[in-house]
Structure 1
Amino acid sequence: MIVDLDDVAGAGALLSRALDLPEDAVEGEVLAARLATPPVGRAVVRVGASDGTGAAFASISDADPSLGHVELLAVLPEARRRGVGSRLLRAAEERLRALGATRVRLGGNPPCYAWPGIDVRYTPAVCLARRAGYKVSDTAWNMTADLTRRDAFPEQADESQDFKVEAAGPDVPEWVRGIWGDGWAWEVEQSLGRAGAGCYVARRGGEVLGFAAYGANRPSWFGPMGTAPAAEGLGVGRVLLRRCLADQRAMGLSAAQIGWAGPIGFYSKAVGARIERVFWIYTKTLG
């Protein structure tokens, strides 16, 4: 039986057991807590198997009220091939339909998300999506930064004399909102003053030139990052990126994920990051 899911802590424990990739399983509790505290006003759906063998998190797009997202669906290994995943997906679809969705996407609903889509290594999830009539509508990827490389992350930041890097203050989300919109501003807000998260800005005098954040959705993930148009070409992004990754290394991480990464060439050159996680984003129209 599928029921509404109210026990977020229990869902986190389930995710820690159900997610097959170690980098996801270790953050299972974080993922459940993050998806349970989305931006204000977001319509959310949480369903679970009554016997505790599976859970799904879904929501309505902040930008398009006709688009629903199934952001996360997980079933314990011992309960697979019993139809639990299919029942969870159908229940999530019906609840999203009741909220006005005419299309459903299997993937993240930024700015609060677990991952862009289905990691291609999650074979059972790919099979479920295909059986349920979903088709690949987009592809996304993460890049991995190896934090054990001392040559890529020197102890002393190589800051330009033209700007200073400092921890972001409460004024930064509004500055970000003015250039990149509400989504990135929300992620910056989540990165301020939270364990496992942080945000830096580059300033020249009283002017903010750029920002970079990490841990807004997951402690091991970097982003977002942006440079003001007038400051492009000054090396701001490279310095901010390396400062954030140095923090993540100090947290004990050996690698950081640059989520929904782009531009690829910049991250590859700046810190030797490589494309590693690839996600298929599936969509279907509700009949």
Structure 2
Amino acid sequence: MIVELDAGAVGVLLARGLDLPEDAAEAPVLAARLAAPPRGRQVVRLGTGDGTAAAFASISDTDPQLGHVELLAVAPEARRRGVGATLLRDVERRLAGLGATRVRLGGNPPCYAWPGIDVRYTPMVCLARSAGYKMTDTAWNMTADLRGPELDGPVDESRLEAMGVKVGPAGPDAPEWVRAIWGDGWAWEVEQSLGRADAGCYVAVRDGEILGFAAYGANRPSWFGPMGTAPAAEGLGVGRVLLRRCLADQRAAGHDTAQIGWAGPISFYSKAVAARVERVFWIYTKTL
């Protein structure tokens, strides 16, 4: 029986049903974050009556004809019984009822769990293919080792201070500044990073003007991003300092590594903190 569900029940299921330790460890907060998406998002929240399977889905914030299956989890004892396939079909019907003509198995940014299907989640890859989905894109995370020396030393900050640039925690004006340059998505993530014990955001400022920002923990405590530098400030080196400030906070919170989610500039992160491409995600799409 398919029923509506709540984030608390999903958190318990994910703690048991996510095969990768780095995902299972953040199961409760991951479910809570997904249950509180940007205002106005059309969502589908379904699960089995016995609590052995759950799915979170939604309509894209930018394309009203695109649905996202953001999360689909089945408890170990309920697998290989067609539970996931049945739940996915019901989610597809619900999304179609909301206007979707295509469905993507992957994150609906800015509030998301994963960009797509981690290539190590073989059962989900098999389900996607058997359900008629085709791989349409690839995404990746980069891993920063927080135990290395790359986060130590104030050299860059001293250099910026000599140029009149100061780095510190973001204030309440940061989201609107981010929105004006990068749009609603990143602004929402910055808003989520403010005022949380397991998240944060830093900005670089000169003469009262914000030059760049970096945030972490918006969707998951161990994930870094987003980060951006104003076009007028590119080349000053504020990005590396902001990145290191955030990663240092995550290290202080007890994380040994941080995931740079949906990473773009691979070379920058590699040079700045010796980050490496590690988690790879396949994004599958289907026309309804």
Same fold (TM over 0.5): yes
RMSD over aligned CA atoms reads 0.8
| 3-state SS of 1:114 partner | coil
For residues 1-39 of structure 1, give each alpha carbon's deviation from its aligned partner in whole angstroms, at most 9, with x where no partner exists.
21122x211110100110000000001111110111000
AA aligned opposite 2:170: A
| In 2, Cα distance between equivalents of 1:224 and 1:231 | 17
1:183 maps to what in 2?
185
| In 2, Cα distance between equivalents of 1:83 and 1:47 | 16
TM-score (norm 1): 0.98
| In 2, Cα distance between equivalents of 1:249 and 1:51 | 38
Percent identity, aligned pairs only, is: 79
TM-score (norm 2): 0.97
Q: Quote the offset at 1:155 in angstroms.
A: 5.0
| 3-state SS of 2:94 partner | helix
1:3 maps to what in 2?
3
Q: Quote the offset at 1:44 in angstroms.
A: 0.4
2:137 maps to what in 1?
138
1:158 aligns with 2:156: yes
| In 2, Cα distance between equivalents of 1:86 and 1:215 | 32
1:90 maps to what in 2?
89
On the 8 A contact 1:157/1:242 being kept in 2, the answer is: no
Q: Quote the offset at 1:51 in angstroms.
A: 1.1
**Structure 1: stretches of 5+ with no match in the other structure:** none
2:262 maps to what in 1?
260
AA aligned opposite 1:153: L
Segment drifting more, 220-229 vs 151-160: 151-160
Q: Quote the offset at 1:158 in angstroms.
A: 2.7
| 3-state SS of 2:151 partner | coil
| In 1, Cα distance between equivalents of 2:18 and 2:194 | 28
2:277 maps to what in 1?
275
Number of residue pairs the alignment of both structures matches: 284
Stretches of 4+ aligned residues off by more than 3 angstroms: none
| 3-state SS of 1:158 partner | helix
1:61 maps to what in 2?
60
Inter-CA distance 210–3: structure 2 relative to 1 (3 Å threshold):
same
| 3-state SS of 2:156 partner | coil
For residues 56-96 of structure 1, give each alpha carbon's deviation from its aligned partner in whole angstroms, at most 9, with x where no partner exists.
00000000000000000000111100011001101110110
